[in-house]
Structures are given as C-alpha cells and as structure tokens.
Amino acid sequence: MSWLILVLAVLTEICWALSLKWASNVGTWAAAVVPVVLSFATMGMLALAMRGLPAGTAYSIWSGLGAVGVILGGILLFGERVSLAQGCFMALTVVGVVGTKLLSPA
C-alpha cells in the first residue's frame, strides 16, 4: 500500500510543479491557490508512504520521478525543449529510481 501511495505522491508532485508554471501564466489569485493545495497533498501522501518505506527510499523516488515527470510535462504542456544530454541524464535518473526500488527492503 505504501508503494501505491508513493506513486500517487509522485503524480501529485508533478501536478504541483506544473501548476506553478500554469499559475504564473494565468496570474490570478485563484490560480495561485492550486499549487498551495497540491503542495499540502503531495507532502501528506509522501509522509503516509514513509510509514511503510524507508525515508531515503521514498524521498529519492519521489524527487527523482517527480523531476523527470515535470520535465516531460513541461515538454508536453508548455513546449519546453530538452537537449539530448538532458534526456540521457533523465534516463539515468529513472535507472537510479528502478535500482532503488529493486534493492529496497520494503
């Protein structure tokens, strides 16, 4: 169950970070509330996931996959560009996350 909660926390973190960009583009107070709400949600889910997972494992997966997800979301939603070298380092991040999961005692 902790792994499922962690996956939801990662997805929420991606939405949170992308909502920051969206809110800055919209520029209204109502839009500014969205990232605040998502930040509480993602932190709460991360804390719940850490009940059943080591903190280092949960946090490294949350931050690593979150970063890759935000980059991909930026490409898809905002037309941001990524170099080949950046793509290679994103792949290394995913490899690190998979290795962390495979070697996790939980």
Tally of domains within the chain: 1
- What is the spatial distance between Cα 78 and Cα 85, in angstroms, rounded to a whole number? 20
Give residue-wise pLDDT tens across range 14-41. 999 999 999 999 989 989 999 999 999 9
Say yes or no to pLDDT of 106 above 80.
no
Q: Which residue segment(s) compose the domain that 96 sits in?
A: 2-102
Q: State the chain's mean pLDDT as an integer.
A: 94
Q: What is the dihedral of CA 105, 6, 39, 87, to 10 degrees?
A: 90
Q: Would you state the pLDDT for residue 104? A: 79
Nearest Cα residue to 100 out of 46, 67, 64: 64
Give residue-wise pLDDT tens across range 3-16. 999 999 999 999 99
Give residue-wise pLDDT tens across range 41-60. 999 999 999 999 999 999 99
